[in-house]
Amino acid sequence: MVSSYFKNIILKLGLEEERIEILEMKGGIVEEEFDGLRYLRFKDSARGLRRGTVVFNESDIVLGFPHIKRVVHLKNGVRRVFKSKPFYVEEKVDGYNVRVAKVGDRILALTRGGFVCPFTTERIEDFINEQFFRDFPDLVLCGEMAGP
């Protein structure tokens, strides 16, 4: 069962009580905890809240990882997506998707499924300047973490 604290928040986000009950019954929303921080994780999508959405409180909500459109035919796809603007190509390295957000006074890394990743959370400040979140506290960085 989802606590009344989180239930009230997701009701304010527009989820109907009936939909919340269905999500609870099938395990589509679950409460988790990381280092004393409680949060609600969406295992299923619901009313515009993608799978992987994480709710910490009324003001700290990190939406699920954005969908990235696939390019099937490279020549046509590059023209359609990038038009004539410059772009960079990088070598694909196996890794995992993360979203990095400032929650309260902490910088957290979230997996695609909405878990707080302890490893990436510990390491992320080695790669991202905390000034970014002072300048843009409401933004979420989406990327891929690779390597140790």
Tell me the domain boundaries of the chain: 4-62, 74-145
The class that CATH gives domain 4-62 is alpha beta
Report the alpha-carbon distance of residue 63 to residue 122 in Å, rounded.
21
3-state class (DSSP) for residue 12: helix
Q: Whole-prediction pTM value? A: 0.83
In this prediction, residue 148 carries a pLDDT of 64
pLDDT per 10-residue tile (average), the chain, 148 residues: 95 95 96 97 94 96 85 83 80 86 96 96 91 94 83
Q: Which fold has domain 74-145?
A: D-amino Acid Aminotransferase; Chain A, domain 1 (3.30.470)
Same fold, 4-62 and 74-145: no
Please list, in sequence order, all residues whose beta carbon lies within 8 angstroms of the beta carbon of residue 14, skipping any fewer than 6 positions away.
47, 48
